[in-house]
Amino acid sequence: MRVRKFVTFLGVGLGLALSFAPRAWSQGTTYSLIAAGRYLVDAGDCASCHTDTAGKPFAGGRAIQTPFGVIYSSNITPDSETGIGKWSEKDFYDAMHHGMSRTGKYLYPAFPYPWFTKVSADDVRAIKAYLDTIPPVRQRNRRSKLPWPLSVRSVMAGWNALYFQEGVFQPDANKSVAWNRGAYLVQGLGHCGACHTATNAVGAPKKHQRLMGGDFGKHWYAPNLTRDLGDGLGNWSVEEIVEYLKTGSNGKDAAGGPMAEVVENSTQYLSDSDLDAMATYLKDIPAHENSSSAPAVAVADRTDLTRGQALYDDNCTGCHMVNGAGLAQVFPSLKESSAVQAKVPDTLIHFILAGARKAVTPGKPTGLSMPAFSGKLDDGELADLVNYIRNAWGNHAPLTDASAVSKVRKEIERSGELNARQPPVQAGGSS
């Protein structure tokens, strides 16, 4: 469901000739090239989108929810009829860099070519070399469910002209090797901005709000990744970001929902040096000039938080404690949490309604789950609870109401998520 989403640096001096682990230098399709490709496939989180629930690895068919309709991921196994078995290296490069299929059709940006265009030619070649070695699966691609004129792929020519900036990542000679490596992964193969950046009416990222949080899928909200102290990473250290990406949790938060999948299928397999580089880059992104840790609304004038507090005491203190601090490495803290204080409360509402499964990694193998409260709390009660959590213990966030909760509830009921929480895909992995 996600358009989830992570070079050779020449001409900036040997110090910026970053070492890609594992790195492929040979001209032939060697083991090192294939191993490099596998690592890069993990870094790009390809499994999360190109493997359907209970489907064959990389055979596609997974529904990608967009504001305009459903787009199904494609088969990227080397099957010659339904996959990319007949694709040349140039065909694959054109898809990654130009958003064009082998047959000359425009791709939709649900395939994140606006980010993959930054990936080096050597890394694209390595990815294709690895994908050529995985088991081929004969599975035809499903037609997207988009209204006219979006169902006509040529409409993307105009979208690309307006919003797509093609080009390989260019390192900044004034920044460190680690910063440049992190920028390459975050801006390119990791395609973090595909979820964590707000989009305009036609689904293009708002450049002036880069990585400041954004809607993705149906009623999920990816939080701010800038240095904002409220809903961003301002209170996170580099080490805490690395721990979160490697294991799925740290002393401040735990990955759940779509982010748990990203950790399980992608970031846990990255080297410590690459994770440190990503964290270094993220910690250098300034907060929005208008951001503030001050209350977003005058809570006392809008609602009586005592109702929410009573609901919290009855339903939440057993795990998250009376003070909202949770239990380190077990139950995430709700106090001063960037995810809890996100501009849009949909993810928090989603978790309370449908429950949440914590990411499971070798470093932290205990997969504790949050129970679903959809059958226990009505829309008004849940809105009161969310408002309390988002404005207690020093938290400050805009209020929500029963109608917003109702929208999320209806969507997850339609998806069947309340009845069946699926296991992780686990199709990739190079560790």
Q: Residue 216's beta-bridge partner residues?
A: 220
pLDDT at position 28: 55
- Residue 3 pLDDT greater than 70, yes or no: no
Q: Which residues contact 283 (CB under 8 A, 6 or more apart)?
A: 227, 233, 236, 238, 241
Segment 43-73, tens digit of pLDDT? 999 999 999 988 999 999 999 888 888 999 9
pLDDT band at 366 (very low <50, low <70, confident <90, very high): low
Cα dihedral angle (236, 238, 239, 241), rounded to 10 degrees? 60
Q: Which SS3 state, helix, strand or coil, does residue 73 take?
A: coil
Please state the φ and ψ torsions of residue 195, each to the nearest 5 degrees. Answer: -110, -40
Cα separation, 258 vs 239, whole angstroms: 22
Pick the CATH number of 299-415 from 1.10.10.10, 3.30.465.10, 1.10.760.10, 3.40.50.300: 1.10.760.10
Judged by phi (left if over 0) then psi (alpha if -120 to 50, else beta), residue 100 lies in beta
Cα separation, 223 vs 198, whole angstroms: 10
Distances (CA, A) of 297 to 196, 267, 300, 303, 385: 23, 36, 9, 11, 16
- Residue 368 pLDDT greater than 80, yes or no: no
The stretch 275-282 carries a mean pLDDT of 98
pLDDT: which is higher, 168 or 260: 168
Alpha helices in 369-419 (DSSP H): 379-389, 402-415
pLDDT at position 401: 94
Cα separation, 255 vs 264, whole angstroms: 10
pLDDT band at 21 (very low <50, low <70, confident <90, very high): very low
pLDDT at position 421: 43
Segment 293-343, tens digit of pLDDT? 444 444 444 557 999 999 999 999 999 999 999 987 778 889 988 889 999
Cα separation, 124 vs 108, whole angstroms: 19
Contact 160, 91 (CB under 8 A): no
Most confident of 184-198, 241-255, 358-372: 184-198
Contact 5, 112 (CB under 8 A): yes
Alpha helices in 44-147 (DSSP H): 46-50, 89-98, 113-116, 121-131
Query: What integer best gives the mean pLDDT of the chain?
Result: 86
Tokens of 351: 């978790």
- Residue 88 pLDDT greater than 80, yes or no: yes
- Residue 226 pLDDT greater than 50, yes or no: yes
pLDDT band at 356 (very low <50, low <70, confident <90, very high): confident
Contact 287, 226 (CB under 8 A): yes
Cα separation, 61 vs 77, whole angstroms: 12
pLDDT band at 364 (very low <50, low <70, confident <90, very high): confident
Domain parsing of the chain, residue ranges:
14-163, 184-282, 299-415
* Its pTM surpasses 0.75: yes
Cα separation, 11 vs 28, whole angstroms: 25
Q: Which residue has the tokens 């035809």?
A: 140
Tokens of 216: 């993705």
Cα dihedral angle (155, 158, 162, 166), rounded to 10 degrees? 90
DSSP letter for each residue of 306-354: HHHHHHHHHHTHHHH-TTS--BTTTB---TT-TTTT-SS-HHHHHHHHH
The stretch 25-29 carries a mean pLDDT of 47
pLDDT: which is higher, 87 or 336: 87
Cα separation, 52 vs 415, whole angstroms: 15
